[in-house]
Amino acid sequence: MTTRLRATGLRLAYGDTIVVDGLDLDVPGDAVTAIVGPNGCGKSTLLRALGRLLRPRAGTVHLDEQRIERIPTREVARIIGMLPQSPVAPDGLTVAELVMRGRHPHQNWFRQWSAADEAIVTEALTWTDMLALADRPVDALSGGQRQRAWLSMALAQGTEILLLDEPTTYLDLAHQIDVLELVARLHRERGRTIVMVLHDLNLAARYADHVVAMRDGKIVAQGDPASVFTPELLSAVFGLEALVVPDPATGTPLVVPLPRALV
């Protein structure tokens, strides 16, 4: 298993509140990883630290065996792309203009916008089925279309690692499936390393190769979905009594919560 991102002894905090403490994590470089856990357990905080958006109080994050804070910002932006929860584009920005912003890390004083950049943007829009909406304002899109637009930007950015913070939030089930199918294709066909925070355990089980379960700022378990999603772990991490059965469509674990009256 290759490792692109590694966290060692990580302590993360906002002000005086410590959210994550003493966390160690190796992110598989050849997998889709889902981070799951109850609200407030530190999932999004961990993702921000992996993307160098939050400086650790202690411990280190390594990218390809280098301390990430010592790597130039532009170089990090060429390797890691991050989509936060519910990203917001400036008013009036079109889909094409948003996706063009993905090329900024590759430009400088000596290398301005080129025909190659234009081709990459067009390819990204085509690949995500957004080319027909290129001239539409981002704020006029549906939720699912908006997520595909942001994924188009990440694809145009050309990063090898993509961090997604709850990419299915506020989407109906059909659009959740559409977005996660697109994420799976990014990994399968483009070789992207994906790390995403998800709330829906069954979607995590279906689309992730590697699952990290967190509680109270610590990793409780990690591994393939079948080894993580067990009745015992669901009870310990989520306080949820549930059956775990094979998904009839995919064979992946399917979590079936038990009514409280039956527990």
Per-residue model confidence as pLDDT tens for the chain (263 residues): 688 899 999 999 999 999 999 999 999 999 999 999 999 999 999 999 999 999 999 999 999 999 999 999 888 988 999 888 878 888 889 999 999 988 877 666 565 667 888 898 999 899 888 999 999 999 999 988 998 898 888 888 888 999 999 988 888 899 899 889 989 999 999 899 999 999 999 999 999 999 999 999 999 999 999 999 999 999 999 999 999 999 999 999 999 999 876 66
**For 52, phi and psi rounded to 5 degrees?**
60, 30
Give the contacts of 108 (CB within 8 A, at least 6 positions apart): 74
Angle at 138 between CA 132 and CA 144, to 5 degrees: 75
Q: How far apart are CA 194 and CA 15, in angstroms?
A: 29
pTM: 0.90
pLDDT at residue number 87:
84
Q: Is 35 helix (H, G, I), strand (E, B) or coil?
A: strand
Q: How many CA atoms lie within 13 A of 143 on its CB side?
A: 14
**For 80, phi and psi rounded to 5 degrees?**
-115, 125
H or E element, residue 79: helix 73-79
State the CB neighbour count (10 A cutoff) for residue 187: 18
